[in-house]
Structure 1
Amino acid sequence: MISPQSIAIACAAVGLVGKESDLFRFTVKHSLIFTCMVGLITTLQAYVLTWMIP
């Protein structure tokens, strides 16, 4: 889960005050891509590569 408070603190620490929305959008895109990849790998292991799961 992406915490808005953590994003605000990180932006303040590196001097990107006011750019929180840009950082949030960047983070959400990568999080969605990562979630899709994990879902694909899980589906493959469950139905195609069944020998991988004991």
Structure 2
Amino acid sequence: MSPIDAVEYGIIDGVIFRDTIIALVPVPEKIKASTFNYEEISKDPKKILTPEIPDDEIY
């Protein structure tokens, strides 16, 4: 963090304490494109309506 950012966030002048700042979760730069087509969706529509999301990806 640059000194200018620290002033903007109030760290240097003591308004905000460093202990109270929460680090953000890194976000992936690219998101996978959808690979579903109409034929796959029409065969099993519940697959689209109830996606399988691993527990470690739920925030």
Q: Please, what TM-score do these two structures have when normalized by structure 2? A: 0.30
Larger of the two Rg values belongs to structure: 2
Q: Please, what TM-score do these two structures have when normalized by structure 1? A: 0.31
